[in-house]
Structure formats: structure tokens, C-alpha cells
A and B are shown apart, each in its own frame.
Chain A
Amino acid sequence: MSSHRESSAMSARIAIDYVTHTFRGQPTATLEDVDATIQAGEKIALIGRSGCGKSTLLHMLAGLMLPSQGCVRIDGRRVTKPSAKWNMMFQKPSLYPWMNVRQNAALGLVFAGQGRSANTRVDALLDLVGLGDNKDANVQQLSGGQQQRVALARSLATEPDLLLLDEPFSALDAFTRSALQDEVAHITRQRDLTLVIVTHDIEEAVAMADRVLIMSRNPGTIVGELRVDLPFPRDRNRAEFTKLREHLMNKFRDSGDAHAAKPENIGKDDASQAAA
């Protein structure tokens, strides 16, 4: 365990090599020639309309799905199955109701055969995510935000290099959502984790990411990107934040269908995109 930590950095580098995916029985490709590199420790937001394949792409990064063509590499190794080195969080917290908060958070460690040493580490994580007083609680009695915090602690417990988030805050109320966005942003930076978050929430993307990748649909592919060079913690009311949000909104709107934003249009100035 510790030797594995020393041999690899605490964060993962991801290479997406011309990934194309067609679901069985569907005439058109869901993903087509998706090609991107995510640097170790980078925080990436993947945005796009529903049906653009962003969630499918995230499942491929997690090893929960395999692309029909192309491949995903993490730290140079081809991803074919899930691994303890990365962890995915879903829109639903998906906790196990027959386990209490602590048991849920420790589950990954139990699977790894480290159940005995789990308690101290898990307790520290639950304190970190603000559930210090609810360690023995029944997860069904927690609020949605608290449940997602348990899921976050569960994801962090196995000390992954990479955190993959599939719209994990979209079911929460606005206040809880922004609090959790800031916390995850803080924790992933503090621990130098690579972060990929799939979202259709523009503000979430600007609040959490260093770089936003914009996807189009029919076929799903990356059609643009935006750097977010704002310090942390990010104040959502600052002029730079609102400006970036608007800028991203415009790019996003243009990416609505592939005709308006063909790959060859990427990098051209906004005027040509607006004209298209």
C-alpha cells in the first residue's frame, strides 16, 4: 500500500484517446472521436446538454464501461475495470441503508481487506465532511446533503488519486449545493487529487474547475474549452466570476448542436461562432 503510494504521484493523469462509443441497437454514435488529456492534479468540469454522452464518458474513465473504439489511459495504463485508485460519485448518494454512517464510509476499506484499521481513518474523514456528530446515525434519516457527504467520505476513504463526479449535487438545494461544491474543491486541492466533474450547471463548472470542457451532442464530442484562473475560495459574486460564467454560457449555448460548433470552429473567436 505505502510502496504503491510512493511509486505513483497522488494525482492521476488521464489520456482519452479517440474514444468512440455506439450503444448496441443505436444507429448513431453517442461519443465520437473524443480526444483529450487531463493533467495530474487538474480539476476538470465536463459540461454539455443531456444526451451529449458526458456521463457515458465519465463511466469510461471509471472503468465501469468500455468504449467501442479508442481507449482511456490513466497514468499510462489502459482502463478496463474499476480500481481503488479512482472513485466515482453519482447523483444519488446510493448509501446502503442496513449500514450506519461509519459502516457506509468504511465500505471501500472493508472491500480492500483493511476493515480493521478503517475506524480512525473513517472517523477523521467524517469529521472533515462535517458529519462528526452523526457517525452512528441511520443513513435513511439524514438529509440529501448529509447523505452526499457520507458518499464523499466513502469515496475519499480508499485514498484515490482521482475523483469522478457525475452530477453529484444536482438533487440538492442551492445552499447545500454551493457549500458542497466549495468543500469538494477545497478537499481535492488540499489532497492534490485529479477531479473530473460532469455537470450541466454552468456556475458549478466555474466554481470548481481549472478548465471546463464543453461537449456537443449528435455526436457527443468535445467542442470547446475554457480556462478558469480564479483563486480559491471562489466568490460567486465577484466580477471575474460572473464574467466567466457568462462567457461559458455563451459558448455552451453555441455548442447546442454539432453544426453550430464543429471541431474546426474551436479556437476561432466568438464573433465567428455567433455568426454561425
Chain B
Amino acid sequence: MSIGEATSEQTPDSTRMRWRRSGGAALVVRGLHRAVYPLLGVAVLLALWWYGGHLIASDPATESFAGFGPGPTFASLADLIRSGQLWGIAYPSLHRIGLGLLWATVLGVPIGVSIGYFRVAQETTHIPFQFLRMISPLAWMPIAVLAFASWDGAIVFLIIVAAIWPIIFSTAHGVKRIDPLWFRVARNLGAGGGQMLRRIILPAIGQDVFAGIRLAVGVAWIVLVPAEYLGVTSGLGYAINDARDTLAYNDLAAIVVVIGVLGYALDRICLFLIQHFSWRVEL
């Protein structure tokens, strides 16, 4: 009798405990907890934007710029998506940045590996590279225009100039951080130069290379838009210019939103790759 009472009292409690231990409730609670602050941040940004838009729209002197408010912007964005125009605007930009990053990686990783591996290479390149790195990629614009036959070529060149430095330095840093014993052990096990590169060096620095690419994406994405103010007739930068000239401020703001969202997405991709190539384990 008393035993029966005790179990009937315990049962609901222990099932709840079991459910919680199995992760159901805890997962939901933790998920909400994690989402609260990011959502709050987004809400504050939207609120500020809305308030700014409201101020602009309610002042007769700035009334004509009311398109910058979130309402008209999102309406325009929805139109761009629905009509399929958005892809046509974004694709040339993504193509240019992809091409620029590819070249920056193809050139930057071997240079970075040499700098990290050979002391002579590091000492020789240090001053020239630090000097070149400090020159804004946009300062190369007139030279790029002269040097390249096509506008597209000039833009890709500017992206390479912007993106290559973080890739070089991050790769070199990764190589320098490699435990020297890893080289000795590999040589001892009979590794040749190519095997050392493929089996030891590249896996060891994978995460550093992608960390460099992530930084490069940040810089290149910022350089891309002003570079597309050059003679080209496609891409996000061109679309912004075009919207300004036609006084379509809602379109202009919509493109700005697209730039931000795409930039954020590119960054997340890089972050995923860094984690994928990271071999460090939290114990």
C-alpha cells in the first residue's frame, strides 16, 4: 500500500526527469536561450532603421528619400526576388568575387607556405609585403583600369589585391606553428617533399588557410562594390549606382540589404569550412 503510493508519486516526476535527460526539453530551452540575443540584436537594428525611415518620411525636406525606410525596401526586395531580377544582379558579383578569391588562394597559399617554411623567404618578403599590404586596393583602381583590357579583369584584379594578404599571412602563420617534431617524424618515416606537403603541411594548416580566406572574403566583399562602380554594367555595385541615378531609393536600399545578407552568408560558409578542417578537439 505504502509502496504503491510511493511509486505513483514518483512516476510522473521520474518520466519528466527522463525526458529532460534524454535532451528533449533541454534542447528546446537551450535553443531558445541561444536565439534570444541574436534575435534581440536584429530587432534593435530593424527598430533603428524603422525610426530613421520614419524621421525621413515625416520631414518635408527629406520626404523624397522615404524609399530608404524598411517598408519600401522590403517591398522592393520582394519584387526583385519575385521577378527573378535579383539573381541577375547578384550573380556577376558572386562570379567576380569567386574568381578573385580563387586566384588569391591559388597564389597566396604557396607563397604563404614558402614564407612559413623558409626563413629566407620570410626575411626577403617581409618589408615589401607589409608595404604593399598597406596600400588600399582601391588605390590600384586607375592602374588596374590601364593594365587590364576588360573592366571585369580590372575588378577581379582589385579583389585579388585585397584578398591575397590575409591568405598569405594566415597560411604562413599556420606553417610556422607546426610542431617541428612533426617534420622530423615524417622524414624519419620516409616522407619525400611532396608527401610532406600533402600529408603533413596541408592538413596541418587547413584551418589557418580557411581562416585567412574568411578574412579575405571580408575585405574583398567590401572592395567589390566600389570596384563595380567602374565601367561594368552588371553586379551589385552597378545596381546601386543605377538605382541612385534613377532615384529608386527603395531599390538602392534593397540592394544594400542583399549585400549584407550575401556577405553574412559567405562568412558563414567560411566559418563552416574552418570548423570542417580544424583538427583541434575540445576535451
- The verdict on B58 contacting chain A, using a C-beta distance below 8 Å, is no
Per-position binary interface string of chain B over residues 167-196, scored 1 when its CB falls under 8 Å from any chain A CB and 0 otherwise: 000000000000101101111111110010
B189 touches A98 (CB 8 A): no
Q: Which residues of A contact B185 (CB under 8 A)?
A: 90, 94
Report the bound CA distance from A83 to B192 in whole Å.
Answer: 11
A271 within 8 A of B: no
Are B181 and A97 within 8 A (Cβ)? no
Q: In the bound complex, do residue A82 and residue B182 qualify as a contact, i.e. CB atoms below 8 Å apart?
A: no
A10 nearest CB across to chain B (Å)? 19
How many whole Å from B187's CB to the nearest CB in chain A? 5
Q: Which of B179, B185, B191, B195 has the most CB of A within 10 A?
A: B185
Contacts of B181 in A (CB 8 A): 90, 92, 94
B225 at the interface (CB under 8 A from A): no
Q: Is B200 close to A, CB under 8 A?
A: yes
Query: Judging by beta carbons under 8 Å apart, are B188 and A98 in contact?
Result: no
**Among A107, A138, A158, which residue has its beta carbon within 8 angstroms of that of B281?**
A138
Contact B281 A111 (CB under 8 A): no
Interface size on B, residues (CB 8 A): 22
User: Given A90-B185, A94-B179, is A83 in contact with B203 using a C-beta cutoff of 8 Å?
Assistant: no
Q: Which residues of B contact A110 (CB under 8 A)?
A: 195, 199
Q: Let me know if B134 is at the binding interface, CB within 8 A.
A: no
In the bound complex, CA of A83 to CA of B188 (Å): 7
Q: Do residues B203 and A98 form an inter-chain contact, with CB atoms below 8 A?
A: yes
The docked-state distance in angstroms from the alpha carbon of A212 to that of B195 is 37
Q: Inside 8 A of B200's CB, which chain A residues have their CB?
A: 96
Give CA–CA (A129, B187) in the complex, Å.
23
A65-112 residues with Cβ-Cβ distance < 8 A to B are 82-84, 87-88, 90, 92, 94, 96-99, 107-108, 110-112
For the complex formed, measure the closest distance between the CB of B29 and the CB atoms of chain A, giving whole angstroms. Answer: 29
A138 neighbours in B (Cβ, 8 Å): 281
Residues of B within 8 A of A39 (CB): none
CB <8 Å contact, B182 and A96: yes
| Distance from A100 Cβ to chain B, minimum over Cβ atoms (Å) | 11
Q: Among B186, B200, B280, which residue has the most Cβ atoms of chain A within 10 A?
A: B186
Chain A hits for B203, CB < 8 A:
96, 98-99
Per DSSP, are chain A's interface residues mostly helix, strand or loop, or mixed? loop
**Contact of B190 with A111 in the complex, beta carbons under 8 Å:** yes
Annotate B185-218 by CB proximity to A: 1 below 8 A, 0 otherwise.
1111111100100011001101000000000000
Q: Which residues on the A side are within 8 Å of B179 (C-beta)?
A: 94
Closest B residue by C-beta to A85: B190
A8 at the interface (CB under 8 A from B): no
A111-B200 Cα distance, complex, nearest whole Å: 11
A211 within 8 Å of B (CB atoms): no
Knowing A90-B181, A98-B203, A107-B199 are in contact, say whether A82-B190 is a contact too (CB < 8 A).
yes
What are some 29 contacts across the A-B interface (CB < 8 A)? A64-B188, A82-B187, A82-B190, A83-B190, A84-B189, A84-B190, A88-B188, A90-B181, A94-B182, A94-B184, A94-B185, A96-B182, A96-B203, A96-B204, A97-B281, A98-B203, A98-B279, A107-B186, A108-B189, A110-B199, A111-B189, A111-B190, A111-B195, A111-B199, A138-B281, A140-B280, A140-B283, A141-B283, A154-B189
Name A's B-contacting residues (CB within 8 A): 62, 64, 82-84, 87-88, 90, 92, 94, 96-99, 107-108, 110-112, 138, 140-141, 154, 158
Given contacts A107-B189, A140-B280, 5 further A-B contacts (CB under 8 A): A83-B190, A94-B181, A98-B206, A111-B192, A141-B283
* Nearest 5 Cβ contacts at the A-B interface: A98-B279, A108-B189, A94-B181, A111-B190, A98-B203
